[in-house]
Structure 1
Amino acid sequence: MDEQLYRKKVLGCWLGKAVGGTLGAPVEGWDGPHHLEFYDPVPQTMVPNDDLDLQVVWAMTIAGNPRPVVNSRVLAEAWLKNVGFPWDEYAVAIRNLKNGIEPPFSGSYDNWFVDGMGCAIRSEIWACLAPGDPERAAKLAYEDACVDHAGDGMWAEVFLAAMESAAFVENDVRKIIEIGKAQIPADSKLRIGIEDAIRWFDEKPEFDYLFREIMTKYKSDNFTDVKVNFPIMVAGLLLGKGDFSKSICDAVNFGEDTDCTGATVGAILGIMNPDGIPEKWLAPIGRSMVLSPGIRGITPPPTIDAFSDLICEMSKRIVLEPCPATSFKPRPVHARAVVRPPRSQAEPEQEVVFDGTFAEWPEELPEKHELVLDFRFKIDQPGRYVVMFNTKSQVIVEIDGVLAFRRAPGDMAPSFHRAPWNQEVTMDFAAGEHTLRATIQRVAPGTRPNWVVGVAYGDTLQWVPDAML
């Protein structure tokens, strides 16, 4: 590819991503439909977004090494050194890495958020480093994705990296979607959702129809789930027919993970047609590189233009060296448990060992019975901590024999920064061992109770490694 055109497309990628992310950020996590036609509010600079933050970290890490190798271990080291985000799969992966669990198990083990959008939104760097080479872009993306994801969440980044790589040399949206699909399993729920969105568009290419079909089949407790957000992005691209403004607005107006869907659609169109980004979108955000305060230990390029120059230079010399396979053992969590009729205190207890903090009771509960679980956790240093017990069922939680919280049945979102109301408590703890008792009630018939339990530092909301005994 002509170097001047390549650099122009790389810049278009990052500008499109910054525009789409800034458009979608104010309504992130809100149910759609929305009716945005422009920024609301109109910004004075780009909104900092982990979508771009993490890719800047990866670029600075790889470029700063004597030999610019890309693999999961290099990226895992960057997570621990440069990323302070306490969010969802990010925090779980950081906890796993601190516990000595290496990729790919750092992404797959004990992670309720394996299908989150957290790695899909990091796909552009690999496409830009392998323009017109979807297979290589997909392999690079896998090394990134497996650090904090598995399954559909991991395949989401692989799909986008291949698709965006193809966008450097192809101008047909449907063709680049097919190229991306070729890199992921045919029976994956992610691929089925992408194909559903295409089929529904072909049946009736209207926003309201697509919104209804996507939400009916793919709406999730977790607004960052790739299985709902990827049909949304495909729908936005197809509805927009190459028009930048319509495409990013349609993607955002579906709701869910709006900063990510808007940013990804913007990046794809920015690669395909960098001249197609209207100046009205670019003028308010400028060209300065704005990163989130959770990024530390790097000095980023001052502008998006300078960042694009760095990526173009890196593309000539990066080396892909996948890591050899590693072994893995779960880190068990022990509990004393009893299944009993309500208000009964006479049932015998049993010692139970779960594979991690995200666990499921191995059988259905008898009707109108409740499950009482006693966990132990340790605090090494006195201070302020957050204790979480997140379940879909009605639950009463006591800590050291004192009521901590209780709530009716509801959604799960087991992340310390956004757990549902009355699923966590912030307390001061002395050093030593403590007890959490969870009494799970009113479990839906035909289901097994499941939960995520854990402890975080009160100031950073990062998981305390090995807190659960």
Structure 2
Amino acid sequence: MSIQIQVEQAALGAIAGLALGSPHVGRTQFQRLTGYSPIPTRMSPHASLDSWLIWQKAHLENRKPFLYGQILLESLDDHTDETAFGLFNLRRGYGTPYSGSLDNPLSDGPRAILRSLIWGFLHFGNPQAAYTSAFHDAGIDHAGDGAWIPAALAVALSLSQPGDTAQDFLNRVTAILPAESQLHRITPAISKNIGNPEAAQFFANQFATNFPDINRSHCVATAAFALLGLLHSDQNSEQAMLIAAGCGGQSELSAATAAAIACFLWSPLRPDYITSLDPAFLATHALKHISPPAGIADFARLISESVALPLQGESLPQTQSGDLGEDQESLEQPNANPNSEDAPPPPLGEDSGGGQEPLEQPSTNSDSEDAPPPPLVLDLGGGREQELNDTNASLESDTPLPRVGSGEDQEQVQNITTPELTCTHNTTTTTELAGLIITANYLETPIAAPPVKKLQITIKNPTGETRNIALAITGPEGWQIASRIADCALRPGESVKFPTVIQPPTTTAPDTNLRLRVDNYQLLIPFLQPTQFSVLGPFVNIEGTGFSYEHPPEKNNQKIQSMTQPFSGRSEMGIRWQVQNFPATEFDLEPVFNGGPGVAYLYAHVTWNSSGLLNLQTQFPGGLKIWIDGTLVTSYNDTTPKPFLHASGSSEFTTAGESRILIKIVRGRDPIPPLRLAFYDESGRIITPQEFITDP
């Protein structure tokens, strides 16, 4: 049977798995299924299948993986769960993989597990290409296991052959995953008692007890349930899908993933899983600029016909570690330009013409044999200097990536170059400009406010000719920049790294972008407008009474605060409101409490881009109260960890375009994690305040 037929079966399996698993999403106990329950009349539209259409088109157009974030932003208006945060970061100018990790409380979610699986089909026999594409896809809105696991599944699929066992597949997955992956903790448990009909049910029902720190709806659990179905199915595609769906959690994704893999490895599902559905293919309303196929069968054929196979007599493509040929640049990370389009930015001036002599290579070139340059320093005023040494030392290593697995499975993946997996949170973003690949690596969260921020800019020449490049970097008025960026010449395939230190001013303006001039083009390197809240505390929290006790900030009806008013805090210490800069959604307040119990307050007077109904989502294991314009909208005192988007942290309020926000945080004896807080407009998009007003 041809690979295309196997892929067609897999696509139909994914559709059946989504329809089967959707009614069982959120279950916490195993349910033994024998088929559809209830029986659906049509397929379940899903953003993962929309994305398969987007990626199929991008694959045929040979689009580069570091552009996948921009492609998804333009093609899928999906503002649910972790994808909302990924698209939010893409709109702010950060490409993959930084779009998946920056300020994203749902980066370990499961939404890429089925979405990225298509790369194992499209790059069948080419695990390096499958890894690169799947990692950039998953990295749009995920980090850590949320990106590692989908990439590993795609790689394992690209290496598999029809007839391989579930254990073969699992071995390939664990061999490509980094040692830090939490899935390694679970694989021994799902591999126990294979052949025992009660084993899958026992694992699913004991999951919360055995793995209390892993949420049932996260990527690790979703992948575990899919793999559980494969291992305990006796190589029966239907049983693999039914077991995965019966585990609950994100059952539509685990069932669809198990069904797609099983139908590719083994045999198709019973025909009635598809024939019982209306034959029309249904896309979600989020899909843009792509006309979906008319029918389910058309969708499956479209995906299968896109699988590239070697011609008769040719071998499957092989890659060697560190030698990726023409695909080398695809391991770079994506677009940092907040106004990026497929076309390059407009020229800044006239081309200086050809005939230039090659310039001397800059001393920061990784291949340079010259002595290292003196330390790069930035004058901070008052006789202080900030030194930037090896900015990338913590992110790069010559040590091989640790592998899990051995023997034949180890050998199958040893040639896959996976530098990104050595970083828990990858902080790079890449674009292509003037024929060059330009990567910005943010070494601190890029907030446009003090203290000093460190950045490394890498420029690579992917062409076959030596390039003489004119370079310069500038910032908004008041920004201090120290960088070794200078004109240079790059031979074919060569790259150069420029450490850069930035000191933003204490006051922010609307423009927070650095500008990198490359020949006659300009690239924006984005920094975030700071989220400025005033912080007050700590007040006392005597024997846990701090949640109900009203400290002075609560003692007026409108909760309007005076920024100059002094207070008596814990241990009779004098305290005042202090302005602090935070990322958009994360507020680390543990330093305020100095290691002890207490109460702290956050306050902001903000304006919004528009008026209307806004949704507020919070996550904090402790005591939390939030007032909007004097109205209490959130109130709970519960130290039990709950996932972001849990119902207990959801509230709504109406604004006329301006709001005063007061937040009360209660800490007990134990340290507290950061408060997570995000605002959504009526369309479901994440938004941030337009302006922070300083009250008297």
TM-score (norm 1): 0.88
Deviation at 1:317, TM superposition (A): 9.7
Return closer, same or farther for 1:72/1:29 CA change in 2, 3 Å cut-off.
farther
Q: Which has the higher strand share?
A: 2
Residue 86 of structure 1 aligns with an amino acid whose one-letter code is H
Q: Is residue 344 from structure 1 mapped to residue 344 from structure 2 by the alignment?
A: no
Residue 534 of structure 2 aligns with an amino acid whose one-letter code is R
- For the residues of structure 1 that align with 2:669 and 2:609, how far apart are their CA atoms? 40
1:166 is matched with: 159
2:130 is matched with: 137
Residue 38 of structure 2 aligns with an amino acid whose one-letter code is P
2:191 to 192, 198, 201: 198
Deviation at 1:111, TM superposition (A): 0.7
Return closer, same or farther for 1:425/1:207 CA change in 2, 3 Å cut-off.
closer
1:354 is matched with: 582
- For the residues of structure 1 that align with 2:675 and 2:134, how far apart are their CA atoms? 30
Deviation at 1:32, TM superposition (A): 1.8
1:15 is matched with: 12
2:295 to 292, 303, 310: 303
Residue 446 of structure 1 aligns with an amino acid whose one-letter code is D
Q: Is residue 72 from structure 1 mapped to residue 66 from structure 2 by the alignment?
A: yes
Q: Which has the higher helix share?
A: 1
Deviation at 1:286, TM superposition (A): 4.8
1:327 to 424, 428, 441: 441
Residue 438 of structure 1 aligns with an amino acid whose one-letter code is I
How many residue pairs get matched?
A: 454
Q: Is residue 462 from structure 1 mapped to residue 685 from structure 2 by the alignment?
A: yes
RMSD (CA atoms):
2.7
Q: Is residue 429 from structure 1 mapped to residue 628 from structure 2 by the alignment?
A: no
SS of the counterpart of 1:240? coil
1:26 to 23, 26, 47: 23
Q: After superposition, where does 1:99-118 map in structure 2 within 5 Å?
A: 99-118=92-111
Deviation at 1:15, TM superposition (A): 0.8
Return closer, same or farther for 1:400/1:230 CA change in 2, 3 Å cut-off.
same
Residue 391 of structure 1 aligns with an amino acid whose one-letter code is F
CA shift digits 1:422-461 (9 cap, x unpaired): x2332332234x22211123x4532314221122112x11
Residue 288 of structure 1 aligns with an amino acid whose one-letter code is A
2:663 is matched with: 438
CA shift digits 1:60-82 (9 cap, x unpaired): 3444xxx4224132x21233222
Residue 297 of structure 1 aligns with an amino acid whose one-letter code is H
1:279 is matched with: 271
- Where do 5+ consecutive residues of structure 2 fail to align? 311-325, 333-429, 431-438, 448-527, 541-545, 553-566, 570-574
1:450 is matched with: 674
2:145 is matched with: 152
1:420 is matched with: 647
- For the residues of structure 1 that align with 2:309 and 2:204, how far apart are their CA atoms? 43
The answer to whether the 8 A contact 1:455-1:467 is kept is no
- For the residues of structure 2 that align with 1:182 and 1:10, how far apart are their CA atoms? 23
Deviation at 1:371, TM superposition (A): 2.3
The answer to whether the 8 A contact 2:601-2:665 is kept is yes
Deviation at 1:227, TM superposition (A): 2.2
Return closer, same or farther for 1:46/1:167 CA change in 2, 3 Å cut-off.
farther
- For the residues of structure 1 that align with 2:299 and 2:588, how far apart are their CA atoms? 45
SS of the counterpart of 1:86? coil
CA shift digits 1:280-319 (9 cap, x unpaired): 3222125432112222221012234333443344343998
- For the residues of structure 2 that align with 1:388 and 1:48, how far apart are their CA atoms? 26
- For the residues of structure 2 that align with 1:467 and 1:216, how far apart are their CA atoms? 44
2:469 is matched with: none
The answer to whether the 8 A contact 1:9-1:168 is kept is no
Residue 451 of structure 1 aligns with an amino acid whose one-letter code is L
Q: Percent identity?
A: 20
Higher relative contact order at CA 8 Å, sep ≥6: structure 1 or structure 2?
1
CA shift digits 1:328-382 (9 cap, x unpaired): 4243322222221233333323333333412332348466522212234430222
1:371 is matched with: 600
SS of the counterpart of 1:131? coil
Moved more, 327-336 or 235-244: 327-336
1:50 is matched with: 47
Q: Is residue 389 from structure 1 mapped to residue 615 from structure 2 by the alignment?
A: no
CA shift digits 1:373-431 (9 cap, x unpaired): 2234430222222233332222111012332231232553434xxx423x233233223
Residue 52 of structure 2 aligns with an amino acid whose one-letter code is Q
The answer to whether the 8 A contact 1:98-1:465 is kept is no
The answer to whether the 8 A contact 2:145-2:182 is kept is yes
SS of the counterpart of 2:441? coil
The answer to whether the 8 A contact 1:364-1:448 is kept is no
Q: Following superposition, which runs of at least 4 residues in structure 1 exceed 6 angstroms of deviation?
A: 202-205
Residue 251 of structure 2 aligns with an amino acid whose one-letter code is T
- For the residues of structure 1 that align with 2:618 and 2:103, how far apart are their CA atoms? 14
1:243 is matched with: 236
Moved more, 111-120 or 326-335: 326-335
1:292 to 280, 284, 290: 284
- For the residues of structure 1 that align with 2:216 and 2:285, how far apart are their CA atoms? 23
Return closer, same or farther for 1:272/1:204 CA change in 2, 3 Å cut-off.
closer
1:253 is matched with: 246
